A and B are shown apart, each in its own frame.
Chain A
Amino acid sequence: MNIDGERQRESRGPEGSGGAPPEGWEAPRERWLSTVVRPAFGPRSVLLEVAARLLIPAILVLSVFLLVSGHDKPGGGFAGGLVASMAYVLRYVAGGRHELAAGMPTRPERVLALGMLVACGTAVLPLLFGAPLLKTFSYEAALPVFGDVKFASFLVFEIGVFLIVVGLVLSVVSALGARMEAEEEEAKAGRERARRLRRTGGGPR
């Protein structure tokens, strides 16, 4: 067994990945992501991990840019939310479900619910002051560094939409991807146990 095989045994996580083929040459030797557990769907790839590590901050910054610029230019909460959730999807693809769990601030449906509260809240708020639903108020100010800044209350609504989209995509990824992966790991562990039992001659006759 080569050195990667050795590494893999060391870095086995709480769940383990028993019975999987050894890692190939492309497995990372340094730590690029926050978890080192091997995903059930295949070996880790150094290329993907480095790309994820480098790209994720840039993707998140881009998503915030889209969110803020969406007021009168292409972008907005929906586009920004999709881009931001792509950062998490990339992380999931590179590192599996443990990596996804490590990267999520809270459970995805909480993000979804929070987004819904923010969006609906800002939609309703103008009604309490006698203005129609979804009415936007905007303020302009000259800040020292940024220059003239325009703030529209619509931005808060967009942040709500942003959170809804992120929460939704994360729910989908954790329900369709991560849960299936967990089930597969469980099945694999079960098979491994059965094989060990057969080999040692234990179990019921």
Chain B
Amino acid sequence: MNLLIAVPFVVPLLGAAATLLLRRAPRAQQVASAVTLAVVIADSTLLLAATADGTVVASQAGGWAAPLGITLVVDPLAALLLLVSSVVLLIVLLYAIGQDISGLSRAVPQVFHPIYLVLTAGVCLSFLSGDLFNLFVGFEIMLTASYALITQAPTRARVRASMIYTVVGLTSSIFFLTGIALVYALTGTVNLADVAEKLGAAPAGLRMVLALLFLVVFGIKAAIVPMHFWLPDSYPVAITRISAIFAALLTKVAVYAIIRTQTLLFGRDDVSTVMMWIAIATMVIGILGALVQDDINRIMSFALVSHIGFMVFGLALNSVAGIAGVLVYLVHHIVVQATLFLVNGLIRQYVGHTSLRSIRGLTVVSPLLAIFFFLPALSLAGLPPMSGFVAKVALFQAGVQAGGWLIYLGLTAGVLTSLFTLMAIFRVWARAFWGTPLPDMLEARAELRRGPDFVGRRLMAATTGTMVGVGLLVAAAAGPLTDIAFTAARDLLDGRAYIEAVLPEGAP
């Protein structure tokens, strides 16, 4: 078990070192990174199988018992997110490889693979870490890698976007470190389980301040309103593979951190009013932003912000059903966002940009592309029988169970947001996909078909198709997924299993 827990972040680091050494051999580098991620997927599957019944397993690095040493913990939530993230990471990597083979992208330097694997290690370490400081380290590994990734193939717009992104990221890191220092000052430990035991004795006011501080820290990274402004300015400008992985994973890692801290450290039984208002604001403001944008990537970025609101809504309920809904929503959203950004990358092949002003008739240019866009888009809006529908039903059911005027207000906002999402999507559909294609788009298609880079383009289309398929699979496997989500949610709200796994002999 020690080995299984260590693999998801040690193997990507080893892979990063190997791909750095293989810089002169692009093909070997591509194989090495794909194999690395495949190993992580296999390992996460084993971890999920081991924890699906609600078991929590802790591994103490160096043999130093918690709370002294570095603790790695895997519970159903961590295992589920590890599996979904690694699958998405591998598919996006294959898409990137296809793009590199096809020669369609501007030359992306060979450091892409090492940095991408370091990002993977950071994401996995964040999910696994059992103490606040390692959570910070995981976040920093992930963020530092993302600072480097966002400026790949630099243009003026990308450098500008990366400035905003880096400054915002560093700001949240400073708050994070401050929060850790305060927690340490209050409890004398940073081990999550130990902190959870000792925070109970702390004054309610202090607990409230710390809870809000951590909400702000992770809220900046999760782009909840009013800390969302940076996201639509930075994600859409990066190259496709990178905006896809950022949109799919980085905000969700922050949502994971919110879930972990707000349940384990600052757990409560009643509905959190602050978070409910944040959820409502995030949902509504995000989607209103999406409605007035003219660029598909920017529309998707605003939709991303608004749908983070759904997760905060479920979290605010503080009930097993609510948190289970959040977990199903997380899985659905990771997959759907990655798919949509990959599709936007395919659109860029034909027109070179994603602005709605000069895209017409994509259904004629490429019917397959239209299907690839349509299915995840409907899922995002939450139409049955897609995964988005399953996730939203789970959340709304949890909301109705809880009752109360604020929750009904939140539910109304949720339904309105879904409708507005549908509206935003149909705006894209009507303007970009319907109509007669512009002549230069047909020319671009003819040129692409003549091009010698057929294999690469096939791989890009195939990986996007696989991603769409994974989205459908999430809907098809909704039953088992909901079961795991409920198990994980019970574990999270109870907290006993987690604490006992980390501190078998009780807190010192």
Identify which of B12-20, B41-49, B259-267, B324-332 touches chain A: B12-20
Q: Which of B6, B18, B21, B114 contacts A133 (CB 8 A)?
A: B6
| Residues on the B chain within 8 Å of A110, using CB | 20-21
A112 with B20: in contact, given A124-B6, A132-B59, A136-B62 (CB under 8 Å)? yes
Q: Is A134 an interface residue (CB 8 A)?
A: yes
Closest to A118 in B: B17
Is the Cβ of B23 less than 8 Å from the Cβ of A109? yes
Is the Cβ of B20 less than 8 Å from the Cβ of A109? yes
Q: Beta-carbon contacts of B14-38 to A below 8 Å, as 1s and 0s? A: 1011101101000000000000000
Is the Cβ of A123 less than 8 Å from the Cβ of B20? no
| Residues on the B chain within 8 Å of A156, using CB | none
| Residues on the B chain within 8 Å of A135, using CB | 62-63
Q: Is B368 an interface residue (CB 8 A)?
A: no
Chain A, range 113-156, C-beta contacts under 8 Å to B: 113-114, 116-117, 120-121, 123-124, 127-128, 130-136
Is the Cβ of B63 less than 8 Å from the Cβ of A131? yes
Bound-complex Cα distance A152 to B20 (A):
29
Q: Is B416 an interface residue (CB 8 A)?
A: no
Closest to A131 in B: B63
Q: Is B10 an interface residue (CB 8 A)?
A: yes
Chain A, range 93-120, C-beta contacts under 8 Å to B: 109-110, 112-114, 116-117, 120
Bound-complex Cα distance A98 to B110 (A):
25
A133 with B17: in contact, given A109-B23, A127-B2 (CB under 8 Å)? no
Is the Cβ of A113 less than 8 Å from the Cβ of B20? yes
- CB proximity of B72 to chain A, nearest CB, Å: 7
Bound-complex Cα distance A130 to B2 (A):
8
Bound-complex Cα distance A134 to B20 (A):
23
Q: Is B60 an interface residue (CB 8 A)?
A: yes
- CB proximity of A197 to chain B, nearest CB, Å: 33
Q: Is B61 an interface residue (CB 8 A)?
A: yes
Is the Cβ of A132 less than 8 Å from the Cβ of B21? no
Bound-complex Cα distance A178 to B2 (A):
44
Is the Cβ of A128 less than 8 Å from the Cβ of B3? yes
Q: Which of A114, A124, A127, A131 contacts B17 (CB 8 A)?
A: A114
Is the Cβ of B14 less than 8 Å from the Cβ of A117? yes
Closest to A127 in B: B3
| Residues on the A chain within 8 Å of B17, using CB | 112-114, 116-117, 120
Q: Is B280 an interface residue (CB 8 A)?
A: no
Closest to B6 in A: A133
| Residues on the B chain within 8 Å of A124, using CB | 6, 10, 14
Q: Which of A114, A116, A128, A132 contacts B61 (CB 8 A)?
A: A132
Bound-complex Cα distance A36 to B21 (A):
31
Is the Cβ of A133 less than 8 Å from the Cβ of B62? yes
Q: Which of A110, A123, A130, A132 has the most CB of B within 10 A?
A: A132
Q: Is B70 an interface residue (CB 8 A)?
A: yes
| Residues on the A chain within 8 Å of B5, using CB | 133
Q: Which of A121, A134, A136 has the most CB of B within 10 A?
A: A134
| Residues on the B chain within 8 Å of A128, using CB | 3
Bound-complex Cα distance A131 to B59 (A):
10
Q: Which of A120, A131, A133 contacts B14 (CB 8 A)?
A: A120
Chain B, range 112-148, C-beta contacts under 8 Å to A: 114
Is the Cβ of B20 less than 8 Å from the Cβ of A116? yes
Chain B, range 62-80, C-beta contacts under 8 Å to A: 62-63, 70, 72
Q: Which of A114, A117, A123, A132 contacts B63 (CB 8 A)?
A: A132
Bound-complex Cα distance A133 to B13 (A):
14
Q: Can you list 19 A-B pairs, Cβ within 8 angstroms, ordered by A?
A: A110-B20, A112-B17, A114-B21, A117-B17, A117-B21, A123-B6, A127-B2, A128-B3, A130-B2, A132-B60, A132-B61, A133-B5, A133-B10, A133-B61, A133-B70, A133-B72, A134-B61, A134-B70, A135-B62
Q: A113-B114, A116-B20, A130-B2 are in contact. List 19 more A-B contacts (CB 8 A).
A: A112-B20, A113-B16, A113-B17, A114-B17, A116-B13, A116-B14, A117-B14, A120-B10, A120-B13, A124-B14, A127-B6, A131-B63, A132-B2, A132-B61, A132-B62, A133-B5, A133-B6, A133-B62, A134-B62
- Chain B positions within 8 Å of A, measured between CB atoms, are 2-3, 5-6, 10, 13-14, 16-18, 20-21, 23, 59-63, 70, 72, 114
- Chain A positions within 8 Å of B, measured between CB atoms, are 109-110, 112-114, 116-117, 120-121, 123-124, 127-128, 130-136
